[in-house]
Amino acid sequence: MQRLTATMNRLLWLCRLLVLMSSVLITAQANADISEMSQAASALAGNSFDDKEVAIAYIASTESSEQATISNIQLLEGLLNKQVFYDKKAKSIWYLVEPPLAKGSELTNILSGDTVTVEKKRQYRAVTINNSIRSQIKTAMATAALSSAEAETRQIAARRMIGELDASLLPTINSIRDAESDTVTKKYLSTAISVYAVTEGSEPEQTMDAITFLSGVGLPEAFDALQAARAKVQSDDVGTITALDKAIAEYEQSQRVVNAAQTLYFGLSLGSVLVLAGIGLAITFGVMGVINMAHGELIMIGAYTTYVLQQLFPAQTGMALLLSIPCAFVVSGLVGMAIERSVIRHLYGRPLETLLATFGISLILQQAVRSIFSPLNRSVSTPDFMSGMIEVTPMLELTASRMYIMVFCLMVFFALLFILKRTPLGLQVRAVSQNRAMARAMGVRSEWVDMATFGLGSGIAGVAGVALSQLTNVGPNMGQAYIIDSFMVVVFGGVGNLWGTLAAGLSLGVFNKVLEPWAGAVLAKILVLVFIILFIQKRPKGLFPQRGRMAEDN
């Protein structure tokens, strides 16, 4: 009997053990069985932090659906920022785009993408997380972004980690850094680790290595970290103070070199604009001696041509811009030839009268544009391939659009140089500019050459308008801002000399940008004008004076 009782007790304990084990297995299965976003949402709406950890692990390891309104990364960020709420009755999960939650706020359902307007604030409650889950989310977000197949995505994520590391993330970032193949991403991760070592404190040897690394990395975040560490360092830590002061001094010296390079770049880009604006005037003024005050309006016509083509092809801004170059040349060239045939050909040899006549034409063209397009400025979109920055070094980033303008300026210059040096039109233009009477005696139709030359110069002005439309708004008065600068470039470089126009435009652009930081934009222009006046007193014919009949007559 006793044996039977003992056996029954053993069986009873065995059953209890089996029930306990099955309940544990069922619980574990419930925690682990999250294979859909709806299950993860239900877990987030619950009270179990263990279930939430499993749900977050699923969200972090799953790619966002193409139809999803809220991405998985955005959802994880929302959990950290208390932007994720659940409906206390329906247990549905909602994302708050603009916190804090208030009556009238809009919530987006993370599953369906439906939006609702909050009527009762008490109906929703923020999803709560603990420190363990918060650390899990940070690690998941860092790992997800840094595991992307796109190098650019990894670079952006790595740079965002600078200054955001904590002790829980440090081991993960170290392992990712060691396995990373992209040098830029690896440098950003090393910077993040070094910033943490300098600002949060580490072993003395690691701190000194971090200071040495940050002194040469060239990132603004590194400089901020060095300055913050210098402010907190103890006065008796002479070695660290010396290393920090040396690193900060090296960074500041590098920054001065970068500032000089940026000033030179902006000066050359401004000079390229001046060359484009003045090169057409150099032809008409140099060959025919016509003071064309409507030159700025021809630039304006080219800019408006770009605007019209973008309106015709709104979804293809790049193609519209490329088409604008020949179209602006043709339109402005035809307008220029019409001006020459109707007005200017009657005024050759009377420069003051051409000045007054072309000034009147400029007013007519401005009013015509106001009547057609209205007096309001128009914006021309910049194509994607011209947008953004070109990173030369971490400290030096150059505007891509200005680089394209500089290259475009050189292309226009050498194309025009080829026309004047290697084509029959260029030969006739040079012949007329050097000795009009002799050219006519040799059978050159000087009237045709004058019309073609004026049309060529006007077409180049239209092409300049295409470039200027990428730097400023297009409006009826935009040409007035460049007419004086164009004349300064032509006179300073030497009337009718293309190389002189190029040298004058680039040098004046750099000179202007060098003066601007301490003199201001307006005073810098005045100083440039005074410089040109003094220079012309010494060299009336400019940097590169023209040779031939016109030079002798002048």
Crossing angle of helices 295-312 and 446-468, rounded to 10°: 60
Tell me, yes or no, whether 21 lies in a domain.
Answer: no
Task: Indicate whether 207 and 299 sit together in one domain.
Answer: no
- Can you give the pTM of this predicted structure? 0.69
Final residue before a domain boundary, out of 104, 131, 158:
131
Final residue before a domain boundary, out of 68, 102, 131:
131
Q: According to the model, what pLDDT value does residue 463 have? A: 92
Tell me, yes or no, whether 462 lies in a domain.
Answer: yes
Task: Indicate whether 213 and 313 sit together in one domain.
Answer: no
Tell me, yes or no, whether 278 lies in a domain.
Answer: yes
Question: Residue 63 pLDDT more than 60?
Answer: yes
State the pLDDT confidence band at 535, using cuts at 50, 70 and 90.
Answer: confident
Q: Per residue in 11-39, pLDDT tens?
A: 443 444 333 333 333 333 434 456 688 88
pLDDT over 90 for what percent of the chain?
A: 14
Tell me, yes or no, whether 90 lies in a domain.
Answer: yes
Task: Indicate whether 412 and 533 sit together in one domain.
Answer: yes
Q: Span 369-379, mean pLDDT?
A: 89
Q: Please report where in the chains the tokens 């830590």 appear, as a residue.
A: 237
Whole-number average pLDDT of the chain: 82
Does 100 sit behind a cis peptide bond, omega within 30 degrees of 0 on the bond before it? yes
Task: Indicate whether 314 and 430 sit together in one domain.
Answer: yes
DSSP structural state of residue 346: G
State the pLDDT confidence band at 514, using cuts at 50, 70 and 90.
Answer: confident
Segments forming the whole domain that contains residue 48: 28-131
Q: According to the model, what pLDDT value does residue 242 have? A: 86
Tell me, yes or no, whether 414 lies in a domain.
Answer: yes
Q: Span 253-281, mean pLDDT?
A: 88
Task: Indicate whether 334 and 215 sit together in one domain.
Answer: no
Which SS3 state, helix, strand or coil, does residue 85 take? strand
Question: Residue 286 pLDDT more than 80?
Answer: no
Q: Please report where in the chains the tokens 């940050």 appear, as a residue.
A: 214
Question: Are the C-beta atoms of 123 and 139 separated by less than 8 Å?
Answer: no
Q: What residues pair up with 397 in beta bridges, in sequence order?
A: 391
Task: Indicate whether 210 and 271 sit together in one domain.
Answer: no
Q: Please report where in the chains the tokens 């404190």 appear, as a residue.
A: 201
Q: Span 425-434, mean pLDDT?
A: 80
Which SS3 state, helix, strand or coil, does residue 417 take? helix
The enclosing domain of 301 has a CATH number of 1.10.3470
Task: Indicate whether 199 and 284 sit together in one domain.
Answer: no
State the pLDDT confidence band at 329, using cuts at 50, 70 and 90.
Answer: very high
Tell me, yes or no, whether 438 lies in a domain.
Answer: yes
Task: Indicate whether 268 and 365 sit together in one domain.
Answer: yes
Q: What residues pair up with 117 in beta bridges, in sequence order?
A: 106
Task: Indicate whether 174 and 252 sit together in one domain.
Answer: yes
Final residue before a domain boundary, out of 90, 108, 131:
131
Task: Indicate whether 415 and 339 sit together in one domain.
Answer: yes
Tell me, yes or no, whether 20 lies in a domain.
Answer: no
State the pLDDT confidence band at 492, using cuts at 50, 70 and 90.
Answer: confident
Question: Residue 273 pLDDT more than 50?
Answer: yes
Closest CA to 125 of 96, 97, 88, 80: 88
Tell me, yes or no, whether 2 lies in a domain.
Answer: no
Q: Span 446-466, mean pLDDT?
A: 88
Which SS3 state, helix, strand or coil, does residue 35 take? coil
Task: Indicate whether 327 and 462 sit together in one domain.
Answer: yes
State the pLDDT confidence band at 257, using cuts at 50, 70 and 90.
Answer: confident
Dist. CA 417–CA 411, nearest whole Å: 10
DSSP secondary structure of 101-153: P-TT-EEEETTT--EEE-S-GGGEEEPP--HHHHHHHHHHHHHHHHT-S-HHH
What is the tally of structural domains in the chain? Answer: 3
Closest CA to 382 of 473, 476, 265: 473
Question: Are the C-beta atoms of 479 and 271 separated by less than 8 Å?
Answer: no
Question: Are the C-beta atoms of 86 and 127 separated by less than 8 Å?
Answer: yes
pLDDT over 70 for what percent of the chain?
A: 90
Residues 6+ apart with CB under 8 A from 316: none
Task: Indicate whether 239 and 145 sit together in one domain.
Answer: yes
